[in-house]
Structure 1
């Protein structure tokens, strides 16, 4: 039985072009700034994102945390959406490492209302921490891969500029957002002072992310990366497949989005599963299995026995993520197996 792994787009394996690029990568010591492959990646990423400079980091979490450490100081406050990855899935690193206070704002499908953001920015008062940073996430993971609109990002950015507070974009899947919106990624990242992008999700590289911003900001961030143990030496072997990801793997994300919509449509037809196909904008599908009378973990265990892997997103919520290693026929087979499992437990 073929395993159909829909847990995350992080489970992708590198393409043959990526493997060849790793083998043939020109190398040097990146801590000395001498790895030509890393330098090419950083320059290409900065140009694509519309920023002056970029910094290669080990992961999206490291990129986000380096950004927070560079923007903010201990005792200050950062604003972010209540279900954001930085708040929900980064092990309280902002508090543990930067010593900042996180202030969450409830959004709608991951989007914070600009008025709520403006009201949350602190005034000058000795009782209050300084608002040091506003964090956005596009696409938004826990909102089911929802895309923040350009209008929303622009409005929040205008508030931030008026209040002189920088904006950081957790753009782990920002290329999914760009493809879904049909725009160049720079049209999204123009509404953030700094941005982090992942190569190891839908773009399919084995490891790595980039943090981009002004040249001065990136120089400061480079020292924070070093403090966190993120100074890599002959890192060109992992930067090389990231270059392939950046230059060759963006447009094909549309295939993942189509597969996710097909999966959602199929799941919506299964008795006991609740899915709104119209809410699927990118490559993430969230299904409610409460009508089965079983928990998400119980359903996931049964699905795993049928060779379908997914993850829980709440007591009765299951998340499925499409990616380059999942074909249209895999989606059809997954729907068939899921239906078999669900009908076996629905009363």
Structure 2
């Protein structure tokens, strides 16, 4: 038995999900003729109370499309130093859109409205890039699955609006935040200009992300997606998995959160664990004693068929997910205690 805790992207479609995929009605989505894709897009837009939505093969492409539609070359986007759009999208903001990133030194991937005010100060100076976009990530990946306080997001949005800044949410794991904080998609739909959501992380679909926004934004996004090579044909087979995931796999995220917290309880009692980040959702980040070292620890766990991932700076990440069974959970807790 292999216990793969590298990411919540390692899941396989469930038997029922495969069944709906195989029976999906499909057409050519480039001509907007795939009925299942259209259904998914309409469903997601209605869920968030937003005007329109567009299906993408990846979250990175959805985020990069959002950046491009909100900016012009030479502009600047503002985000936290931990943000996925800065750290893990291959420098796409610079390559695809010709924009630079102004990084805010926040807490676990989250910054305050006051910090945004400071970041925007001096924006009229012709010697500096013109800030045009604010990007927020919820939950924060590098921040250990941390959830933004919604009241603070409202304050951040107010600052963005006052400064004519577009406001994009990288919601790759937004549903984890919604379940953990008992919030609704509509709350976020009212706050952001564009939102990307991922179907292939905690929700367990094999492929796909969605970008949500106004009809004008999505019309522009359609052209950008084509430019990026993201136009697809009979993609309804994948969209069907997304519909199933939205219908059946949201509430169960609470189980992933429970298991993550149980892992945290064990790690917190172990002498070789020197630091454990607060656990709110399905991501656990911890540090081991320097004499052991993260790389050594990860290798030793791999020898026992338990796969973990390094996050740099001595950080080790565990991500619980749909395919992480109770049997795997018991084995992991046992091996952690015995290490």
- Give the TM-score category using the shorter length: over 0.9
- 2:60 aligns to what? 61
CA distance in 2, matches of 1:328, 1:53: 39
* 1:1-347 alignment, distance < 5 Å: 2-121=1-120, 122-276=122-276, 279-289=278-288, 291=289, 293-340=291-338, 342=339
CA distance in 2, matches of 1:149, 1:42: 28
Say which SS state the counterpart of residue 164 (structure 1) adopts: coil
Contact 2:78 2:133 survives alignment (8 Å): yes
Residues 317 and 276 (structure 1), Cα distance of their counterparts in 2 relative to 1, 3 Å cut: closer
CA distance in 2, matches of 1:135, 1:315: 24
Q: Deviations over 1:282-306 (max 9, x none)?
A: 00001111x2512212211110001
Q: Deviations over 1:47-96 (max 9, x none)?
A: 11221000000111000000001111110000000011111111100001
Contact 2:65 2:221 survives alignment (8 Å): yes
Contact 1:63 1:211 survives alignment (8 Å): yes
TM-score in terms of structure 1 length: 0.95
CA distance in 2, matches of 1:120, 1:275: 30
Shift of 1:149: 0.9
CA distance in 1, matches of 2:201, 2:22: 21
TM-score in terms of structure 2 length: 0.97
Contact 1:169 1:189 survives alignment (8 Å): no
Say which SS state the counterpart of residue 134 (structure 1) adopts: strand
Contact 1:178 1:188 survives alignment (8 Å): no
CA distance in 1, matches of 2:327, 2:251: 20
Shift of 1:276: 3.8
Shift of 1:164: 1.3
Say which SS state the counterpart of residue 126 (structure 2) adopts: coil
Q: Deviations over 1:167-196 (max 9, x none)?
A: 000000000000000121222342211000
Say which SS state the counterpart of residue 39 (structure 2) adopts: helix
CA distance in 2, matches of 1:56, 1:275: 39
Q: Deviations over 1:230-257 (max 9, x none)?
A: 0001110111101111111100000000
Shift of 1:125: 2.9
Say which SS state the counterpart of residue 80 (structure 1) adopts: strand
Residues 252 and 73 (structure 1), Cα distance of their counterparts in 2 relative to 1, 3 Å cut: same
CA distance in 2, matches of 1:292, 1:12: 32
Q: Deviations over 1:128-181 (max 9, x none)?
A: 222110000000011100000101110100111111111000000000000000
CA RMSD in angstroms comes to 1.2
Contact 1:157 1:191 survives alignment (8 Å): yes
Shift of 1:272: 0.2
Shift of 1:329: 3.4
Contact 2:199 2:209 survives alignment (8 Å): yes
Residues 315 and 124 (structure 1), Cα distance of their counterparts in 2 relative to 1, 3 Å cut: closer
Q: Aligned residue pairs: how many?
A: 338
CA distance in 2, matches of 1:55, 1:176: 21
